[in-house]
Amino acid sequence: MIRNIRNAFAISLLAGAMLLAIPLAWAQEPAEKTPAEKTTTEKNQTAKPQPDKTPAQKPATESPGRPRDLEPGINKTFYLSNVSGPTDLQDVVNALRTIVSIQRVQQIPSLGAIVMRGTAEQVDLAQKLIDDIDKPKKKFGGEYRLDFRIRELESEKRLNSRTYTLLIEPHELAKLRLGTRVPLSANNDPDKKQLQFIDVGQNIDCQVRTETESAVGVNIDVDFSNFGMSEQLTGEGHGYPVLQQFRVTVKTTLELGKPIIIDSFDDPSSKRTFQIEVVATRVKQKE
C-alpha cells in the first residue's frame, strides 16, 4: 500500500512539472514573421561587413609659435631714409603690391619703415624697387631775389617806371617801406596838438611760401599812395590835399627768371594805368 502511495505522489509531481514546462516552451517559440521581414533577415544574414578603406588622416602638425594661416616665406623690414611721410610710404606700399604682387606688406610711419613677407624672389624685387624710389631728393631751395617794377601808362605810353628789389629767405616776411610819414590833425581844431601819421609812398610785403625746382609760390601785398588836389578828384577846388591810395594783395606762383605781371588797374581820377611786374630769381642754393 505504501508503494502505491509513493507511485501516486511521483505521478502527481511529474504532471505538475509538465504543466510548468508547456508555457515556457510557448514563450520561447518565435512568432511567425511576415514575408518582408523574412527577406530582410535573410539579406542581413548573407551580407558581410566591409572593412573601412578610408585612410586615416594624420593630425596637422604646427610649429611652435607659428600661426596656422601664415604662409612660408621671408620677413623683411625696409628702412627708408628719404621717404618718411605717410602718403609717400603708402605710395611705396601700393607699388610693391602692384608691381611685385606682394600682399603681406605694411607701413610703419613712426619708424619710416615698411614690413613685408614674401618669397626670396619677391624680396629681391622689392629691394630693387625701394632702392630706385628711396633716393635723396634734389635740393632746390635757397635765397631769392624779387624785383618789383611798377609802371605808369597813359594810352599805352609809358610815363613812369619804378623798380624795387627784395632779398628773401623762404617762409620769411620781407618788407619794403619807402615814402614819407605825413602828420594829420586828429580833429578840426588846429590849436590842439593831437596828430596822427600816415605813410605816403610805396609799401611792399612779400613772402615765399612754397618752392619747387623751377618756381616759387609767393604772397605779395603792394600798397602805394600819393597826394592829389581835391579839384582833380571832385572838381570843386577847395584846395585840400587828397590822398590817393592803391593796394594789391596777390597769392600766385612765379616761374623763376620769367617776368610776370601780377596786376594791372586804372587810375579812377585820370586816364592812367598801373602795372605791377615781378621777377623771381634764385640767388643762393640751399646747402
CA dist 285 and 282 (Å) reads 7
Query: CA distances (Å), 176 to each of 147, 167, 223, in order?
Result: 12, 10, 10
Quote the pLDDT of residue 142. Answer: 75
Selection from 227, 230, 224, 222 nearest residue 184 by Cα: 227
Quote the pLDDT of residue 26. Answer: 43
> What does 117-184 look like in DSSP terms, one character per residue?
EE-HHHHHHHHHHHHHHS-PPPP--EEEEEEEEEEEEETTEEEEEEEEEEEE-TTPEEEEEEEEEEEE
The structure's pTM equals 0.47
Work out whether strand 272-285 and strand 195-211 pair parallel, antiparallel, or are unpaired: unpaired
Quote the pLDDT of residue 253. Answer: 94
- Kindly give the parts of the chain with pLDDT less than 50: 19-21, 24-29, 43, 47, 59-61, 68, 230-235, 237
| Cβ contact 252:262 at 8 Å | yes
Quote the pLDDT of residue 25. Answer: 45
Quote the pLDDT of residue 187. Answer: 59
Q: Which three cell numbers stand for residue 53?
A: 578603406
Write the pLDDT tens digit of every residue in 85-139: 788 888 899 989 999 888 899 988 888 889 999 999 999 999 999 988 888 766 6
Quote the pLDDT of residue 74. Answer: 87
Quote the pLDDT of residue 24. Answer: 47
